[in-house]
Amino acid sequence: MNPQQHVLLVEDSHTQALNLGHVLEQAECRVDWAPTVEAAMEQLNQNSPDLIVLDYYLPGIPGDELCRRIRMNIDTRNIPILMLTTDATHDAELRGLESGADDFVPKSADPAVLLARVRTLLHRSASQVAIPGLVEQRFRRARLLTIDDSPTYQQYLIGELEQEGYQIEKAMCGTEGLEKLLREPFDCALVDLVMPEMTGIEVCRQVRSLRRLDDSIALLMLTGQETKEDLTQALEAGADDFVGKSSDMAVLKGRIRALLRRKFCQEDNRRIVEELKSKEVELVRARSEKVLAEAQAALNAELEQRVEQRTAELAKANRDLAQQTRENEMFVYSVSHDLRSPLVNLQGFGGELKATCQELRKLLEESSLPPADKQRTLSLVDDDMGMSIRFIQTAVLRLSKIVDALLQLSRAGRVEYQFQPVDVQPLVARVIDSFSVTIAERGATIQAGALPTVWGDPTTIERVIANLIGNALNYLDPNRPGLIEVSSVPSPTEDASDGHASQRTIYVRDNGLGIPDAYRDKIFKIFQRLHPEIAGGEGIGLAIVLRAVGRHGGKVWFESREGQGTTFFVSLPAPREEPASLTLACAE
């Protein structure tokens, strides 16, 4: 028994209230006394008790009317009510039960009987919401099970109860009754106290020990001998009520209706509680979804704003980069063009100086100077002046090549491309033929494999191949025969649905010096010569390759091991039926 259980005693007699309070305290209950209906209603407004013990005869509003009011209020309808009266007649009992009371006890009853019924009602009150989610139809025929070994009484009982509209099943012993209770749903079981094999007391104990059946079915004990000991044992075993077989059938029917009313009230209360919980969960979910939707919308708006801002920044950066690239190209072109005229002048002056030196040597040879002076002067003209003239001519030639390379680099970003299908095979053959002298001087071999047809500008692609082959020739190992291979490999095909054409990959492989690790991030930059003491070149060819291939929408990469050679790969778009003449920004 829960020591915190609360009992509201509604009794106008102070003496009776003291006596009843003493009995209720034996059940370890906290008792509040209300001498009038008005006082009882005020206390019910403040808090709900676990049990209401109600005098039938009260001044003003009678107890059965208060009982009806309690049952009509959704907040109090499920509180068990024990009605007390000095009138022990069957009519008074029926009126009390019909008004909504769960049990009816005469005030003259033994205190032990009253205490047993109070404990039973308190137990049912404490467990009335122990089974959540029990939802039934609101209007249905109650199903009853009679468990009795007397066929005569069974037939009599069934006949009387069927007139009340109940669905009746019968079991002739306790074992059969338990099997049916486990197999089928029942609202109430009428159990005979005295039966062979299994008594009604044992049936109640087993029903209450089964969690599936506990509190889901009302148990009413029937007995031929109505004693205080039998009543106490039955209620303690789990019975909800105790009625003698000799009692008026109307009393039995009233007791059954009271039990069913309380059971259905509890079920309705559970249903209402679950519906309220469901509504509350739906409301919380709806609020959460709304909050999440608002947060997501705010986040999306912020992200869109950031994307727009970032896109604008990138667009501006691209425009600035393109402008800067164009300015750089124009600067390179302007500087290279302006340098060409002084270089031509220097070259011309060098030639004139050389001719002058030759004329001076001729004059010296024809002069009448002493032989020693003549020889010393000729050595000065041949060695010192000749060496200076050769140095000037070599420097001018070197600078002219650099200027030509810079002009090529600037044109690589400004020239208008004529896009068309380009067969790389004959193009490579022409490039190899143009390097025939250098190939012979280096003692190298060039092998051309199968080469594809690509989409691009023929002149630019030929220059790309020439720069790669020239680079390979420049960086051959002088200590072993040079071998250069030009061929193609299968390329990964881009998804055409993304708007990208498939690519064709060409490679130029050599067995030369290889690329040192320190230069791997620099080789596509201008004026980067890896082995200037061995190789020639101006250090601009790979920069031109990168820029030209980028404008074609392709890629350039390499694989290299120092001392074992290098392979450069160039991917270019596959041919397509889309003739075009475009001037594109440089892509690096």
pLDDT digits (tens, 9 = 90+) for 53-85: 988 888 777 788 888 888 777 778 788 998 888
Q: Which is more confidently placed, 464 or 501?
A: 464
C-alpha distances in angstroms, 448 versus 234, 454, 567? 108, 17, 14
Tokens 């005469």 appear where? 106
Tell me the C-alpha distance between 104 and 118, whole Å.
11
**Which one is predicted more confidently, 272 or 571?**
571
Cα 307 to Cα 309: distance, rounded to the nearest angstrom: 5
Contact between residue 415 and residue 380 where contact means Cβ atoms under 8 Å apart: no
Q: Which residue has the higher pLDDT, 421 or 132?
A: 421
pLDDT at 95: 76
Residue 76: per-residue pLDDT: 81
pLDDT digits 0-9 by tens, 223-268: 887 788 888 888 888 888 888 888 788 888 888 888 887 777 777 7
Residue 127 has pLDDT above 80, yes or no: no
pLDDT of residue 131: 37
Ranking 37-46, 178-187, 220-229, 380-389 by mean pLDDT, the lowest is 380-389
584: pLDDT strictly greater than 60: no
Q: Could you tell me the sign of the dihedral formed by the alpha carbons of 60, 63, 65, 66, in that order?
A: positive
pLDDT at 342 over 50: yes
Q: pLDDT tens digit string along 275-300?
A: 778 878 888 888 888 888 888 888 88
Choice between 576 and 478, residue whose per-residue pLDDT is larger:
478
d(CA 84, CA 88): 9
Q: What is the pLDDT of residue 404?
A: 65
Write out the DSSP string of 210-257. -TTTTTTSEEEEEESS--HHHHHHHHHHT-SEEEETTS-HHHHHHHHH
Lowest mean pLDDT across 138-147, 186-195, 302-311: 138-147
Mean predicted confidence (pLDDT) in 386-395: 72
Say whether pLDDT at 327 is over 90: no
pLDDT at 432 over 90: yes
Residue 291, judged by CB atoms within 10 A of its CB (0-12, 13-18, 19+), counts as: exposed
Share of the chain above pLDDT 70, in %: 80
pLDDT digits (tens, 9 = 90+) for 1-22: 455 688 999 988 888 888 888 8
Average pLDDT rounded to a whole number, residues 471-500: 75
The pLDDT of residue 132: 39
Confidence of residue 48 (pLDDT cuts 50, 70, 90): confident
The segment with the largest mean pLDDT, out of 65-69, 113-117, 295-299, 482-486, is: 482-486
> Between 561 and 352, where is the model more confident?
561
Q: Which amino acid is present at 580?
A: A
List all residues 6 or more positions away from 35 whose beta carbon is below 8 Å from its beta carbon.
11, 12, 14, 17
pLDDT-derived band at 551, boundaries 50, 70, 90: confident
The neighbouring-strand residues paired with 47 are none
- The pLDDT assigned to 582 comes to 39
